[in-house]
Structure 1
Amino acid sequence: MLSQRTRYTIRALLHLADRFGQGPVQLTEIAEAQNIPAKFLTVMLSQMRRDGLIETMRGREGGYWLARPPEKISYGEIVRLTRGSLGLLPCASRLAYEPCSNCVSEDKCRLHRVMLMVRDETARILDGLSLADPVSLDEFSSEAELEPQL
């Protein structure tokens, strides 16, 4: 499950993507439009600046903007920066791998193998989508269309 921090970060970055090339965007505009607490948004945007996703300028004419074009920022990158991993289990993470302490050995664990497949498919999808990709709200008109195809 995505944390609230990750969801807020994605929404804020999408807001900046919609205004890419139009100059700095004020924090209050992002906070109000995306319904994100301003204090929380300040912390998130500061982290995204340190991670190289956004630039900022102080002052009355200042604000925030994407450091790279929206098509160069993937959802996978954002999730990894805010969550640390795409893996649902520590043993299925590429970047934050840890063996599970209460499990059978990985070579005998069928859940481990399933979670590796889930991680790889999740990475394929999220790394293939950027902030520039149009995702229509009516693309998924019902949850029935989201049934897994295994």
Structure 2
Amino acid sequence: MISQKSRYALRALVALTRAGHGNSLMISEIAVDQDIPKKFLEQILLELKRNGIVMSKRGKSGGYLLLKEPADISFGEVLRIIDGPIAPLPCLSKIAYRRCKDCKDEDECEIRHVFAKVTDATRAVLDRTTLADAVGEIDLIAKMDRVTTL
């Protein structure tokens, strides 16, 4: 399960994606539109800024904007920045590996083998799904709904 912080980060990034290339949004705009506590959003955006996902601009037309193209920002990348490793078991983590305390032999661990398949599939979906994909899918569904209601 992803954290609320990651959900907020993804919602803020989707809002910035929808704003369009080169357009910035103020923290207060994102916070109100996405129903995210402003102080918490400030911390999230600062973390995303430190990791090269967003940048901030000062002045009249200031705010936050995407530093990278939405097609170059995957859900997996964002989740790793905010929550850390994507692994249900410490022995499956690529960046924070730790042997399970009660495990006698990882090669023979049935639990590890099942969760390795789940983890690999989850990582594959998250790493190949970008902000552009997510926004595009929602836009396509909305268009289809409009067509069927006509």
Residues 41-56 of structure 1: pairs in structure 2 closer than 5 A? 41-56=41-56
SS at match of 1:136: helix
The amino acid across from 1:38 in the alignment is K
User: Who is 1:135 aligned against?
Assistant: 137
Structure number with the higher helix fraction is 2
Q: Offset of 1:61 from its aligned partner? A: 2.5
- Unpaired segments ≥5 residues, structure 1: 140-150
Q: Secondary structure at the match of 1:56?
A: strand
Percent identity over the alignment? 39
Given that residues 57 and 64 in structure 1 are in contact (C-alpha distance below 8 angstroms), is that contact kept between their aligned partners in structure 2? yes
Q: Equivalent residue of 1:65, what SS?
A: strand
Give the distance between the partners of 2:139 and 2:60, measured in 1 at CA: 35
Amino acid at match of 1:85: P
TM-score w.r.t. the length of structure 1 is 0.86
Q: Conserved in 2, the CA contact under 8 Å of 1:20 and 1:69? A: no
Indicate the RMSD between aligned Cα atoms, in angstroms: 1.7
Aligned residues: 139
Q: Which ranges of structure 2 fall in alignment gaps of 5 or more residues? A: 142-150
- The residue identity in structure 2 corresponding to 1:77 is E
Give the alignment of 1:24-103 within 5 angstroms.
Answer: 24-103=24-103
Deviation by residue 1:74-133 (Cα, 9 ceiling, x = unmatched): 011111111111111111111111111123321221111111111111111111110001
Task: List per-residue Cα deviations over 1:40-92 (Å, max 9, x = no partner).
Answer: 00000000000000010133421000001100100111111111111111111
